[in-house]
Amino acid sequence: MPERVLVSTFGFDEAKVLSALRFIPYERLAVLAGGKSMKEAGLRRLQSAERAAGGSLEVVEVDPFDFRSCFQGALGLIEKHRRAGREVRVNVSGGTKVLADAALLAAFQEGVEAYHCEDRPVRLPVLRGVSFTDRLNPAERAVLGCLDRPRPVRKIVERLASDGHAERAVQAAISRLRDQGILSVSLLRGAAIVAVVPAASWFVRTLR
Amino acid sequence: MPSIKSTEDLERVVFYHSAHDKSRAARSRVIEYCTTLGVPASAHELSDAFNLFQIAQRIRDDVAKARKDGGAIRFNIAGGTRLMSSAALLVCILEGVPTTYVHDETGEEIQLPLFRLNYADHLSEKQKEILAYLVAHREHPPNETSLAKALGVHKSTMNHHVKQLAAKGVIEIVPDAKDTRAHLIRAAPGVELLVG
């Protein structure tokens, strides 16, 4: 059975994490916390509790008011432990709203179990093992993969043709991703230029 | 407010708030602002702002109704209690609703480019049908044989679906208290939000 890692969002009060620990089995505990939280007594008490139980606490610092920072922190932790063959669960009960929401989105994106814990944990309806990227077909993934900067449709088609993607499939992929609000298509000197929508670029990097 | 200001051709504002006095005062300010703009606004007080699934179900029903009416929806999940915000995000993920966040300090609106797809479409039609049945029979969960019979599929086919759904964490297989050799199948908590 793989080692279980509980990733938890954390604010100042360790009570929310502790109540999750009582109900969600784990071997390793990792928390996402803001810089201020890391200097507070709550985190020290949590570290002591873990030490007393023979474990250790992994702490990842994020900006708890910046969605992107929290999302990337959560995603990084999940990916790291999954790469190491561990089973990851996410508890989104502690910390700021931004931190909790970003961790929730990361759990859905990666298809890992997510819990919200007030008195008892409530498991959220994440489909285990199912990632957002599962909805992308190979051509859509390939298009996103080559959009590190805006490129003409013609160049994308040429580039992906060498990887075996038919022009029609690439055109359809661009069109679908545009409809999803992920890509924009604009005309520049008669050429159709495809770009990742700026507001989506931080998110799209995690989808490639 | 930042979302109201930044939305072009805004036709209607719907927002949710808790029963807290501060929240009610904020409601009045939003309504007043919308009235000044001439935009119809409706506020919904959530009686139990600390029950995640209840809030999510309420929001989901409203989103479904608004979609039926044909409008394009955008959800700003920045306000309210932490639980309200998480419940709203949950609905937006499940329903593929364009979602925005407002940075607490800079006031910048951040788009969360969720795929505009129904999350439940990660499941096959048969799997959705099974889950819908289990949700409808939550009080009296069936065993695998009776589930197969009820949905008109062969036992071995049902066994395949049950294994797939259990792996995805959306069903629970629990011992039957009346028959120690048998197991009952029930929908995991919150699955109503997937197939309801």
In a domain, A65, yes or no: yes
Query: Are A19 and A115 in the same domain?
Result: yes
Query: Are B21 and B40 in the same domain?
Result: yes
Query: Are A115 and A43 in the same domain?
Result: yes
> Stretch A150-167: mean pLDDT, rounded?
92
CA–CA distance, B63 with B92 (Å, rounded to integer): 9
> Stretch A114-131: mean pLDDT, rounded?
89
> Stretch B119-140: mean pLDDT, rounded?
93
- End of a domain among A80, A95, A123? A123
Exposure of B30 in the CB half-sphere (CA atoms within 13 A) = 23
- Tell me what pLDDT residue B113 has: 64
Query: Are B68 and B164 in the same domain?
Result: no
- Tell me what pLDDT residue B170 has: 95
Query: Are A180 and A84 in the same domain?
Result: no
Whole-complex ipTM: 0.87
CA–CA distance, A104 with B86 (Å, rounded to integer): 8
> Stretch B54-60: mean pLDDT, rounded?
91
Query: Are A186 and A119 in the same domain?
Result: no
- End of a domain among B88, B117, B146? B117
Q: pLDDT digit string (tens) for B183-193?
A: 999 999 889 99
- Tell me what pLDDT residue A42 has: 87
Query: Are A41 and A114 in the same domain?
Result: yes
Query: Are B127 and B80 in the same domain?
Result: no
CB contact under 8 A, B93 and A124: no
CB contact under 8 A, A98 and B104: yes
Q: pLDDT digit string (tens) for A39-64?
A: 888 888 988 888 888 888 999 999 99
Query: Are B32 and B85 in the same domain?
Result: yes
> Stretch A9-25: mean pLDDT, rounded?
86
Query: Are A18 and A109 in the same domain?
Result: yes
Residue A12: give the domain boundaries.
Answer: 4-123
The CATH number linked to A165 is 1.10.10.10
Q: pLDDT digit string (tens) for B157-178?
A: 999 999 999 999 999 999 988 8
Range A52-59, long-range pairs (CB < 8 A, 24+ positions): A55/A27, A55/A28, A55/A29, A56/A28, A56/A29, A57/A29, A57/A30, A57/A31, A58/A28, A58/A29, A58/A30, A58/A31, A59/A30, A59/A31, A59/A33
Query: Are B135 and B103 in the same domain?
Result: no
> Stretch B149-153: mean pLDDT, rounded?
95
CA–CA distance, A107 with A90 (Å, rounded to integer): 7
- Taking the Cβ of residue A119 and every Cβ of chain B, the question of whether any pair is shorter than 8 Å is answered with no
Number of structural domains, chain B? 2
Position B115 pLDDT exceeds 70: yes
The CATH number linked to B154 is 1.10.10.10
Residue B67: give the domain boundaries.
Answer: 2-117
CB contact under 8 A, B169 and A101: no
Contacts of B77 in chain A (CB under 8 A): 101
CB contact under 8 A, B85 and A204: no
In a domain, A92, yes or no: yes
Contacts of B110 in chain A (CB under 8 A): 67-68, 199
Number of structural domains, chain A? 2
